[in-house]
Amino acid sequence: MSLEKLSPEVLQLILRFAHPSAHFSFALTSKTLYENSLNILERHRAADQKYAITSDIKPLNTIPDLLRSAYGSGADGIEAWHVRELEIWRDRSLWEEWTECDISSEGKISFEKDSSITSPFSLGEQRKFLYNSPWGEALFLEGNEELFANAQRELRSGQDGFLKMLLIAGLPRLETLKFVKDGKERPTSFIWLSKAMKQSIKTNSWPPGLRSLRKVYAGIAVDPESEGVAIPRGGIELARLLRLPNIEGIYFCDLDMVFPEYFDPELYERDPSHPDAGTKYDKMDYDDYWEMEEILAQRKTSTVKKLILDRVASFDYDAREIILGAPNALESFLVRGIKNFRPTYDHPHTRFDQFVTIVTALSKHQNRSLRDLVVYEKEHIDGDPRYQLYWPPELNNFNHLQIVSVCLEDMIPTPTWTPNTTWSREVSLNRKDPNYPSLVQKFIEAFPTSISALAFCSTKANVSYTTNKLDYLEDGLVAMIESGKYTSLTDIYIDDVEIHSLEPRTTIAFRKAIRVGHERGVKIHTLTNTQLSNHQQPVFPVMPDKYYLETGPFGFRSPKQVFNPLSGSWVKRSCRACGACQACTRAYTRDAWTIFKAAEARSYD
């Protein structure tokens, strides 16, 4: 019997119980079916307009309806079907806090309490979430009475972490999930989500919302004051995120991953007060490490392609091998150190050290796929006793590396470099020295030919660049460009090293390199290159910030801001090498600026 011969009432009944994914195909079958589908198609249009990108800023307007839709059947699932991006702004701990977030232009998040607000969920709905939802008790709570009791308590009191986790798990086409950094602790919904991922890994059964996720942003900062607060311990959440079935990009803010060198779990269980038993933090870190070892035991199994680690306080050496060996084909790795961090007793780590082991692990596991190796806030990251960041020639182990950060100090040969390297141990950088040409040649050989953009950062601490060092860096850059080896090279960024000297310099640096680069199509961005500084379109990957949030009040970024490829942040436009401000006159004398400006003017005649 043809569907067209059915009564409109029967057709409406079919649409009511059909899965949302079938509605459009059903409507395209014939004109009759299309006409009977107009109401349901209009509901799809309205749901897409309202919920495609949604958040918890107005929780009563989104969370209850989407939860009912996510765990409903047939046409009841239309609203949840259209959610593609979810932003979590703020925890609520009581029903009276389920009011609209007030987000200031400075990033302060607050809300007023309303004692008249009560639970929007009936007792039947609460029981459904706990007992009957596909991803309730069966997946998350079975066999864990304490976890089950916590979920019950949250449902009664209005704490929203468990409910948001259920919502995330139940959204069948959720692709992007963003958590706003608000305070020093991770959101309760993220903690519940981490528990859900742990259980999913254990059972190898993933709810639709976690199965569909492509991008997760854990901790986007909107309040500048949050940059200085202590960070949560551990990094097991990062390991669990790597196991999401279809994850492509992870932004993880606040990483303090320290595992005890020695811990006796049996002694701790028998007598936690024993002086050799360790602390509760040792116990937590010990358990996290072995879980990480277990869930990421199989290398090359994660689908992640872009991994961004922001505000890294510490990154355990053994964990580096596990984490960086997990992706099947990692394409982009970004890391930023901690700026303005205030350590506490439980968080004594203020610097991310031994970065050289990161590069070694990446060259071992991701050398065939990695394209971006970027470091921001180099001042807060250490290499090892030999290098400020890492040994540059190790980059040649990567087959397709394109965008990379390099420390300028690591490009200058010193006696501290190991004898088995191909770099000369000669440290004389005088252009008249007979070994000087070979040193410049080693500069050329430091990078793979696939490089397209370089950022030369500096430690900016206790480093004074002599004229010989600046000459060597410039000669190395000129040799790189003129060698014809780097046919893909388009941009070179150089930190403002001229500023870090005892006295203003009398000669402008890098002028020859800029000229040669211009002739060969390579843009060299320096303190004095007024034509190329302050680019609006970043060449280097951008660190997520408040403007990544679609549902907030921040709108568009000010055109007065430009991206700094050395810090990873957006800053105010510079003076464009005015030659008169404090920064300019600190780097070069006024006479040097006058001569430079005159020569620059002649070049445009």
Tens digit of each residue's pLDDT (9 = 90 or more) over 23-56: 888 877 888 878 877 888 899 999 999 999 999 9
The pLDDT of residue 604: 52
Q: Is the pLDDT confidence value at 173 over 90?
A: yes
The pLDDT of residue 197: 93
The pLDDT of residue 230: 57
The arithmetic mean of pLDDT across residues 302-307, rounded, is: 98
Residues forming a β-bridge with 191: none
Instruction: Please report, to the nearest 10 degrees, the dihedral formed by the alpha carbons of residues 227, 229, 234, 236 taken in order.
Output: -40
SS (H, E, C) 74-131: HHHHHHHHCCCEEEECCCCCCHHHCCCCEECCCCCEECCCCCCCCCCCCHHHHHHHHH
- Contact criterion met (CB below 8 Å) for 94 and 79: no
Domain residue ranges of the chain, discontinuous segments joined by +: 3-46, 52-186+207-213, 392-533+575-605
Q: Is the pLDDT confidence value at 418 over 50?
A: no
Q: Work out the mean pLDDT of the chain and round it to a whole number.
A: 84
Q: Is the pLDDT confidence value at 289 over 60?
A: yes
CA separation for the pair 446, 70 (Å, rounded): 54
Q: Is the pLDDT confidence value at 275 over 70?
A: no
**Other CB atoms within 10 A of residue 445 CB:** 14
The arithmetic mean of pLDDT across residues 499-523, rounded, is: 87
SS (H, E, C) 500-529: CCCCCECCCCCHHHHHHHHHHCCEEECCCC
The span from the first CA to the last CA of the chain, in angstroms, equals 84
| Higher local confidence (pLDDT), 338 or 109 | 109
Q: Is the pLDDT confidence value at 415 over 70?
A: no
The pLDDT of residue 266: 62
Instruction: Please report, to the nearest 10 degrees, the dihedral formed by the alpha carbons of residues 499, 502, 506, 507 taken in order.
Output: -50
Flag the least confident range among 159-163, 305-309, 458-462: 458-462
Confidence of residue 211 (pLDDT cuts 50, 70, 90): very high
The pLDDT of residue 80: 95
Q: Is the pLDDT confidence value at 143 over 70?
A: no
Q: Is the pLDDT confidence value at 167 over 90?
A: yes
- Contact criterion met (CB below 8 Å) for 552 and 383: no
Q: Is the pLDDT confidence value at 284 over 70?
A: no
Percent of the chain with pLDDT over 90: 41
The arithmetic mean of pLDDT across residues 162-179, rounded, is: 96
Q: Give burial (CB, 10 Å; 0-12/13-18/19+) of 42.
A: exposed
| CA nearest to 191, candidates 220, 225, 232 | 232
The pLDDT of residue 348: 53
The pLDDT of residue 15: 75
The pLDDT of residue 534: 44
The secondary structure of 535-573 as a DSSP string is -SS-SSPPPP-GGG-SSSS--SPPTTEEEETTTTEEEE-
CA separation for the pair 163, 335 (Å, rounded): 32
Q: Is the pLDDT confidence value at 594 over 90?
A: no
Q: Is the pLDDT confidence value at 209 over 70?
A: yes
Confidence of residue 331 (pLDDT cuts 50, 70, 90): very high
Flag the least confident range among 27-36, 356-365, 421-430: 421-430
CA separation for the pair 138, 412 (Å, rounded): 60
| Higher local confidence (pLDDT), 46 or 377 | 46
The arithmetic mean of pLDDT across residues 551-570, rounded, is: 86
Q: Is the pLDDT confidence value at 154 over 70?
A: yes
Report residue 149 as tokens: 């009791």
The pLDDT of residue 515: 92
Q: Is the pLDDT confidence value at 246 over 90?
A: yes
The pLDDT of residue 533: 46
| Higher local confidence (pLDDT), 460 or 97 | 97
**Other CB atoms within 10 A of residue 438 CB:** 12
The pLDDT of residue 599: 77
pLDDT tens readout for residues 454-491: 999 987 655 677 888 888 999 999 999 999 999 999 99
- Contact criterion met (CB below 8 Å) for 381 and 352: yes
Q: Is the pLDDT confidence value at 186 over 60?
A: yes
The pLDDT of residue 281: 56
Confidence of residue 293 (pLDDT cuts 50, 70, 90): confident
